[in-house]
């Protein structure tokens, strides 16, 4: 029986992305992805209109003259639908970012599409938080790790490097995220299984380690990677915790990196996670790691009563 055309297209895309990552690694490509605001400021400079090298093409998402890219790779990316025409130039529909020893593919700038696969400063902080936690207390061999809302797969890849002998499951509501996360994991030497869906509902049995880096800003456009829902943007984080914590095995941990709006000195997310941990017989470690981010959001009506937005980490552990 012939395979569906969509499956064949996915295979071509995966093969092209693997080739791209290998090509860039051979050339010691390195690009650290900034915030969208910083990205826009850099591109606003007069000398950043067209690409001059690989970092401009696959980091800054600039249009490039076809001869600037290896012809074989260019044809492969084009046939997989990963290049778009911009007049006489081409533009990549993906970016490639450096994360430790790895290169991760994600959506090109700007990430305006509702189903864009985002990677940026929060991804780096999330990976660092996971690495520090797992160096402090490594996960046992054979444990089951679930990365909820995996996006480009940064959290699971960071965890796998610390604890290679674990079963890894990636979940996301975005099929494009799972496609890119699968490529990124394989390129990093990480064996992972993917589950399309929300939370951990599609995974049977107890869970040893659950990772979550949910969005935490109210997004009027409703983009899945950015909109954190109610509680001034902490609603998705709380929903993930309520879904995952009851499923933790003995000694299991839920690792959360997100943001929380502070209203009149109070942190609603912290209070709710404290109550959840107590109800489930778990311990909570909660830390505010940056007191003030996305200050421009305070000018919008949705944040009229908010003093600041803090970056936080939480570890909920079953005794």
28-40 pLDDT, tens digit each: 999 999 999 999 9
pLDDT at 117 over 70: yes
Q: Which of 88, 113, 139, 110 is nearest to 42 (CA)?
A: 110
For the chain, the average pLDDT equals 94
* Range list of H helices, 44-197: 54-58, 71-79, 121-136, 154-162, 175-187
Most confident of 3-17, 130-144, 305-319: 305-319
pTM attached to this predicted model: 0.94
pLDDT at 256: 98
Residue 94 bridge partners (DSSP) = 107
Task: Report percent pLDDT > 70 for the chain.
Answer: 98
Q: Are 62 and 51 in contact (CB under 8 A)?
A: yes
pLDDT band at 225 (very low <50, low <70, confident <90, very high): confident
Which conformational region is residue 45 in: left (phi greater than 0), alpha (psi within -120 to 50 degrees), or beta? beta
Q: What is the pLDDT of residue 4?
A: 60
Q: Phi and psi (nearest 5°) for 277? A: -60, -45
Average pLDDT of the residues in 279-308: 96
What was the pLDDT predicted at 166? 93
Residue 238 scores a pLDDT above 90: yes
pLDDT score of 15 more than 50: yes
CA–CA distance, 233 with 227 (Å, rounded to integer)? 7
Q: Mind listing the pLDDT tens digit for each residue in 20-64? A: 999 999 999 999 999 999 999 999 998 888 999 999 999 999 999
- 280: pLDDT strictly greater than 70: yes
- Give the pLDDT band (50/70/90) at residue 208: very high
Which pLDDT belongs to residue 5? 60
The reported pLDDT for the residue numbered 221 is 80
Mean predicted confidence (pLDDT) in 106-110: 97
Q: Is the pLDDT of residue 140 over 60?
A: yes
Categorize the per-residue pLDDT at 1 as very low, low, confident or very high, splitting at 50, 70 and 90: very low
Q: With 90 as the cut, is the pLDDT of residue 191 above it?
A: yes
Name the band, by pLDDT with cuts 50, 70 and 90, for residue 220: confident
The answer to whether 72 and 83 are in contact (CB under 8 A) is no
Distance CA 123, CA 242 (A): 22
């Amino acid at each position: 029986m012939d395979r569906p055309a969509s499956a064949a297209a996915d295979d071509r895309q995966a093969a092209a992305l693997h080739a791209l990552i290998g090509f860039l690694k051979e050339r010691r490509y390195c690009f650290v992805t900034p915030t969208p605001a910083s990205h826009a400021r850099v591109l606003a400079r007069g000398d950043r209109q067209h690409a001059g090298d690989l970092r401009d093409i696959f980091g800054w998402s600039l249009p490039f003259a076809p001869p600037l890219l290896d012809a074989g790779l260019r044809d492969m990316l084009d046939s997989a639908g990963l290049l778009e025409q911009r007049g006489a130039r081409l533009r990549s529909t993906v970016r490639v970012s450096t994360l430790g020893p790895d290169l991760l593919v994600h959506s090109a700038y700007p990430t305006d599409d509702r189903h864009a696969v985002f990677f940026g400063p929060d991804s780096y902080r999330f990976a660092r938080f996971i690495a520090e936690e797992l160096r402090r207390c490594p996960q046992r061999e054979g444990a089951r790790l679930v990365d909820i809302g995996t996006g480009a797969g940064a959290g699971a890849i960071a965890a796998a490097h610390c604890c290679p002998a674990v079963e890894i499951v990636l979940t996301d509501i975005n099929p494009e995220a799972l496609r890119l996360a699968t490529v990124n994991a394989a390129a990093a030497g990480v064996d992972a299984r993917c589950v399309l869906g929300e939370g951990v509902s599609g995974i049977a049995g107890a869970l040893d380690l659950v990772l979550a880096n949910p969005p935490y800003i109210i997004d009027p456009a409703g983009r899945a990677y950015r909109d954190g829902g109610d509680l001034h943007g902490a609603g998705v984080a709380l929903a993930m915790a309520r879904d995952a914590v009851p499923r933790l095995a003995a000694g299991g941990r839920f690792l959360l990196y997100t943001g929380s709006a502070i209203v009149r000195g109070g942190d609603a997310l912290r209070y709710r996670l404290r109550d959840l941990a107590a109800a489930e017989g778990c311990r909570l470690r909660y830390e505010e790691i940056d007191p003030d981010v996305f200050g421009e959001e305070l000018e919008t009506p949705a944040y009229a009563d908010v003093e600041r937005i803090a970056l936080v980490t939480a570890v909920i552990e079953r005794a």
